[in-house]
Amino acid sequence: MRALALALILALAGCGGTPGEGGNGESSIAVNTSDVGCIRDVAEGFKALFYDQGKVREAYETFVAEDYKQHNPMAQDGRDAAIAFLEPIYEDNPQHRMTVHRMIVEEPYIVVHLHGQSSPDDLGAAAVDILRVEDCKIVEHWDVTQSVPAETVNGNGMF
């Protein structure tokens, strides 16, 4: 059940702005409106708010289009559906973490390779999110997720 919940969390992780800190500790976002700059800003801003800080509502309302299209068969379309699913999970499990290991940005896509864990001792799951950006908003999401094994045959690990 824990693996299924983690898979759903990772499935809903979709992705402009540049992360920054305001004087009160709140995030401040500045959006670049050129296409290439916009996509990079969306990638960096969404990573900072959602993956790094777990600020579900702020990340999705800032960077995700209302009619966000979801290709994971276990998740509903729409920004509000993603927020409604993700917020309680983050609120009920403050140890949940999503660590981004690499991010590739090539117009109009953002590819995020990450490690999701429900707690520090959880092996978690490896995931790749593919996000399509249009008009400085994430409009579409695909993902691939697999459990992280305790040992690998090749010894290389997943990250």
DSSP string, 53-115: T--HHHHHHHHEEEEEEE-STTS-SSHHHHHHHHHHHHHH-TT-EEEEEEEEEETTEEEEEEE
- What confidence score (pLDDT) does residue 141 get? 96
CA separation for the pair 77, 141 (Å, rounded): 10
| Alpha-carbon distances of 116 from 14, 26, 29, 51, 98, rounded to whole Å | 14, 24, 25, 9, 4
- CA nearest 2: which of 85, 142, 116, 158? 116
- What confidence score (pLDDT) does residue 35 get? 72
- What confidence score (pLDDT) does residue 9 get? 52
- What confidence score (pLDDT) does residue 16 get? 33
Task: Tell me the per-residue pLDDT of 10-25, one tens digit each, with 9 for 90 and over.
Answer: 544 443 333 333 333 4
- For the cut 60, the answer to whether the pLDDT of residue 131 exceeds it is yes
- For the cut 60, the answer to whether the pLDDT of residue 144 exceeds it is yes
Predicted TM-score (pTM) above 0.85 = no
- What confidence score (pLDDT) does residue 34 get? 52
Q: Where are the domains of the chain?
A: 2-147
Task: Tell me the per-residue pLDDT of 98-112, one tens digit each, with 9 for 90 and over.
Answer: 999 999 999 999 999
CA separation for the pair 29, 23 (Å, rounded): 13
- What confidence score (pLDDT) does residue 74 get? 87
Please report, in angstroms and rounded to a whole number, the separation of the first and last CA atoms in the chain.
24
H/E stretch holding 121: none
What is the average pLDDT score of the chain? 84
Three-class DSSP category at 23: coil
Q: What is the CATH number of domain 2-147?
A: 3.10.450.50
Question: Per DSSP, what are the bridge partners of residue 147?
Answer: 125
| Mean predicted confidence (pLDDT) in 12-39 | 48
Tokens 């068969």, located at residue: 73
- For the cut 60, the answer to whether the pLDDT of residue 138 exceeds it is yes
Alpha-carbon radius of gyration of the chain: 15
Task: Tell me the per-residue pLDDT of 49-82, one tens digit each, with 9 for 90 and over.
Answer: 999 999 999 999 999 999 999 999 889 999 999 9
| Alpha-carbon distances of 6 from 16, 89, 96, 101, rounded to whole Å | 26, 9, 9, 17
| Mean predicted confidence (pLDDT) in 105-128 | 97
